[in-house]
C-alpha cells in the first residue's frame, strides 16, 4: 500500500479494475449498485467486465500511457486476477490508491514466494504448507528426498484451474514433467492424505480491521472448482475456527487490503495445511452474492474505497455449482445448443449468473449457479435437480 494517506472514496467516484474477466464483471455490478462508476483496463475489447463497466481502456497491462489514464480517472484501483504485472500496480500506486498492493500480489504470483511466506507466517498462523522442494535443474531432481514422492509438480508462475500441474510418482516422472514444462522453475509438493479442501474468504481494510466469511468446502474436478458448499458438511466448529484464525493472521502479516481467499487442505488426521492464496475475490466465494449480507464483491468495493467493511453473516445454506462450456454440448459431439435455463430457474432458490461469454468451450467457465435453501439437505436436492437438467454427472 502506498504511504500516502487517503480519505474514504464516495460515490459517484470511479473505481478501476485491472482485468476484464468475470470477476471484474461482478465487481462492476457491486460497485455500480453502491453508486460508483467503474473503469476497466483490459487488452481484449470484448470481455465480461467491459460489458458492465462505465468506461474501458483497451490496452496491455504494462502500457504506461494506459495505466496513467486509468490512474487519472480512478480514486482507487484493484485487480481481478493475480497475474497482472506487479510492476504495473506499483506504477499505479504512485498516482492513486491501489488495493491489494503490488508487493502482496507479487507474493501470490510466485508459488515459491508464497510457500516461503506461509512458512514465515507459521509461528503466528499455526499452519504450514505441504512439504515441498524447488525444481530448477536436473540436479534438483536427483536430490529429491524419497519421502517427497509421490507429489505434484507445479510451475512456479501462471498456473491456475489445474494448469501447469502434473502428478508424479517417481524421479523419472518428475524429469519427464519438468522437460515437458520446458525446464521452467517448478515446485514439487508432496501428496498428502487429503480428507477434503476448504477455502477461507477474508477481507481487510486499510485501517487493519478484518472480517472472515463462513468456511467453504470445495470439490474440484480436473483441477477446476466444481462445487462450493457452505456451511461445509465435513467442517467441524474447531476446524473452522482454526482456519479462520489462520486466515486472519496471514492477511494481517501480509499487510493486505482487499478481499483475499486462502485455500487449505484438511488431512485425514484433522491436520490443517495451507495450500495457496488468491489476492482477489474467488470462485469459491461466489455464493456470497446470494447467501450473505455482503457479497465478496461489495466487500472488495468497501475495502478499496476505505469504507467500513460489511456484515459477513450468511443468511441461508448454499451450494455453488460452476457452469462450464461443456453443458452447451450434447455428449461428445460438436453440436452446440443453449441449456434449458427456464427449467433451471424453475427450481426454488436457483440463482443463475452467466458471464456474457459468447463462445462456449469445454472446460471454460461460462457462469455459476447458486442453490440457496432453508437447509443444506434441501440445497443438495436442488443441486441434484439442476445437474440432471444440465446433464452434469453428480458423484455422491
Whether residue 164 is annotated as binding a ligand: the answer is yes
Whether residue 154 is annotated as binding a ligand: the answer is yes
Q: Is it the case that residue 2 has pLDDT exceeding 50? A: no
Whether residue 220 is annotated as binding a ligand: the answer is yes
- Report the pLDDT averaged over residues 147-165: 84
Query: What was the pLDDT predicted at 1?
Result: 38
Whether residue 234 is annotated as binding a ligand: the answer is no
Query: What was the pLDDT predicted at 225?
Result: 96
Instruction: Report the mean per-residue pLDDT for the chain.
Output: 95
All domains of the chain, ordered by start, with CATH? 14-98 (3.40.50.20), 131-190 (3.30.1490.20), 194-390 (3.30.470.20)
- 38-92 pLDDT, tens digit per residue, is 999 999 999 999 999 999 999 999 999 999 999 999 999 999 998 899 999 999 9
Q: Is it the case that residue 161 has pLDDT exceeding 70? A: no
3 state SS for the chain: CCCCCCCCCCCCCEEEEECCCHHHHHHHHHHHHCCCEEEEEECCCCCHHHHHCCEEEECCCCCHHHHHHHHHHCCEEEECCCCCCHHHHHHHHCCCEECCCHHHHHHHHCHHHHHHHHHHHHHHHCCECCCEEEECCHHHHHCCCHHHCCEEEEECCCCCCCCCEEEECCHHHHHHHHHHCCCCCEEEEECCCEEEEEEEEEEECCCCCEEECCCEEEEEECCEEEEEEECCCCCCHHHHHHHHHHHHHHHHHHCCCEEEEEEEEEECCCCEEEEEEECCCCHHHCCHHHHECCCHHHHHHHHHCCCCCCCCCECCCEEEEEEEHHHHECCCCCCECCCCHHHHHCCCCEEEEECCCCCCCCCCEEEEEEEECCCHHHHHHHHHHHHHHHCCCCCC
Whether residue 159 is annotated as binding a ligand: the answer is yes
Whether residue 165 is annotated as binding a ligand: the answer is yes
Whether residue 313 is annotated as binding a ligand: the answer is no
What percentage of the chain exceeds 70 in pLDDT? 97
- 205-260 pLDDT, tens digit per residue, is 999 999 999 999 999 998 899 999 999 999 999 999 999 999 999 999 999 999 99
- 300-316 pLDDT, tens digit per residue, is 999 999 999 999 999 99
Whether residue 343 is annotated as binding a ligand: the answer is no
What percentage of the chain exceeds 90 in pLDDT? 93
Whether residue 160 is annotated as binding a ligand: the answer is yes
Whether residue 163 is annotated as binding a ligand: the answer is yes
Whether residue 80 is annotated as binding a ligand: the answer is no
Whether residue 197 is annotated as binding a ligand: the answer is yes
Amino acid at each position: 500500500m502506498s504511504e500516502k494517506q487517503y480519505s474514504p472514496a464516495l460515490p459517484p467516484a470511479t473505481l478501476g479494475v485491472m482485468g476484464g474477466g468475470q470477476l471484474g464483471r461482478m465487481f462492476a455490478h457491486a460497485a455500480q449498485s453502491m453508486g460508483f462508476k467503474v473503469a476497466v483496463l483490459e487488452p481484449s475489447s470484448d470481455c465480461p467486465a467491459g460489458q458492465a463497466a462505465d468506461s474501458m481502456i483497451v490496452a496491455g497491462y504494462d502500457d504506461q500511457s494506459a495505466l496513467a489514464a486509468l490512474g487519472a480517472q480512478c480514486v482507487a484501483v484493484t485487480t481481478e486476477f493475480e497475474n497482472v504485472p506487479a510492476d504495473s500496480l506499483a506504477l499505479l500506486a504512485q498516482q492513486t490508491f491501489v488495493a491489494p498492493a503490488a508487493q502482496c500480489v507479487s507474493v501470490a504470483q510466485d508459488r515459491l514466494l508464497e510457500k516461503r511466506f506461509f512458512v514465515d507466517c507459521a509461528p503466528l498462523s499455526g499452519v504450514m504448507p505441504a512439504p515441498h522442494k524447488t525444481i530448477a535443474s536436473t540436479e534438483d531432481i536427483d536430490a529429491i528426498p524419497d519421502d517427497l514422492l509421490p507429489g505434484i509438480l507445479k510451475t512456479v508462475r501462471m498456473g491456475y484451474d489445474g494448469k501447469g500441474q502434473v502428478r508424479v510418482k517417481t524421479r523419472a516422472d518428475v524429469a519427464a514433467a519438468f522437460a515437458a514444462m520446458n525446464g521452467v522453475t517448478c515446485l514439487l509438493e508432496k501428496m498428502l492424505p487429503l480428507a477434503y479442501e476448504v477455502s477461507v474468504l477474508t477481507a481487510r481494510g486499510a485501517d487493519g480491521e478484518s472480517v472472515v466469511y463462513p468456511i467453504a468446502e470445495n470439490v474440484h474436478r480436473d483441477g477446476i472448482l466444481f462445487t462450493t458448499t457452505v456451511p461445509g458438511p465435513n467442517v467441524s466448529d474447531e476446524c473452522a475456527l482454526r482456519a479462520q484464525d489462520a486466515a486472519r493472521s496471514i492477511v494481517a502479516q501480509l499487510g493486505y487490503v482487499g478481499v483475499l481467499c486462502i485455500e487449505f487442505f484438511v488431512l485425514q488426521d484433522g491436520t490443517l495445511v495451507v495450500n495457496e492464496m488468491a489476492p482477489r475475490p474467488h470462485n469459491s466465494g461466489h455464493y456470497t452474492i446470494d447467501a450473505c449480507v455482503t457479497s465478496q464483491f461489495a466487500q472488495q468495493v468497501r475495502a478499496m474505497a476505505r469504507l467500513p467493511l460489511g456484515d459477513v453473516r450468511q443468511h441461508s445454506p448454499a451450494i455453488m455449482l460452476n457452469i462450464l462450456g461443456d453443458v452447451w454440448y450434447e455428449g461428445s459431439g460438436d453440436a452446440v445448443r443453449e441449456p434449458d435455463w427456464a427449467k433451471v430457474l424453475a427450481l426454488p432458490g436457483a440463482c443463475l449468473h452467466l458471464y456474457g461469454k459468447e463462445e462456449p468451450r469445454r472446460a471454460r467457465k461460462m457462469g455459476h449457479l447458486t442453490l440457496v435453501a432453508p437447509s443444506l439437505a434441501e440445497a443438495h436436492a436442488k443441486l441434484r435437480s439442476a445437474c440432471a437438467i444440465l446433464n452434469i454427472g453428480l458423484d455422491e
